Amino acid sequence: MKFFVDTADVGEIKELAESGLIDGVTTNPSLVAKSGRDFKTIITEICALTDGPVSAEVAALDADGMITEGRALAEIAENVAVKVPLTWEGLRACKTLTDGGTMVNVTLCFSANQALMAAKAGATFVSPFIGRLDDMGLDGMELIEEIRTIYDNYLDLNTEILAASIRTVGHVKQSALAGADVATVPPGVIKALVKHPLTDKGLEAFMADWKKTGQKIV
């Protein structure tokens, strides 16, 4: 499974990109607003930090507006993935942009039927929102499983499932088990994936024993 980091904080992205463990970046209007910086400047800087897809979201709600904005965003760098909402207008824009060679991330997916339509429109990625479904008392992971089953039934559908709205390390594990192609994860959750108390305890014991030997490797 590929990992995208879900943030518009260039400093955080730089740190994670240097680790070699992330495959792309997703942003959204809320993350951009939180950064307090110019949108296009942020996307330009992020695209220079990673060769992987960088999702940049349109602001228009009509298809023609999305297409115009999407083409402008795609000019920033070759690895921009234009992000459009899963609406009828968004799918129309997706089809046009995809046919023109632009990567498209169709976002705000909450049903398997929506995901099927996104794939039919040629989306590069579809982003089901796990956490937001969980907030409603529904099972976000069930949606990932349903989409995986549908996509696997039809080999001509090449859209990747991008598990989004991930809040916990458990969400990451469950997404991988359900067959998501990508998980977009906040920086803090990515770092938490490697943490385990038994790892810390074991390392502490090993270091204590090594110290007793009085030796040095270099």
Nearest to 125 by CA among 183, 72, 172: 183
- Taking the model in full, what pTM does it have? 0.94
pLDDT (0 to 100) of residue 196: 96
| CATH number of the domain enclosing 164 | 3.20.20.70
What would the pLDDT profile of 50-102 be if each residue is shown by its tens digit? Answer: 999 999 999 999 999 999 999 999 999 999 999 999 999 999 999 999 999 99
Domain count, the chain: 1
> What pLDDT score does 15 carry?
95
In this structure, the strands spanning 125-128 and 160-163 are: parallel
pLDDT for res 178: 97
Please enumerate in sequence order all residues whose Cβ is within 8 A of that of 94, keeping only pairs 6 or more positions apart, or say none: 84, 104, 106, 118, 121, 122, 123
For the chain, which residues score pLDDT lower than 50?
none
Of 2, 83, 120, 201, the active-site residue reads 83
83 is catalytic: yes
Is 19 inside any structural domain? yes
Whether 218 is in a domain gets the answer no
Would you state the structure tokens that stand for residue 63, as one six-digit string?
């298809």
What is the reported pLDDT for 87?
Answer: 98
Segments forming the whole domain that contains residue 146: 2-213
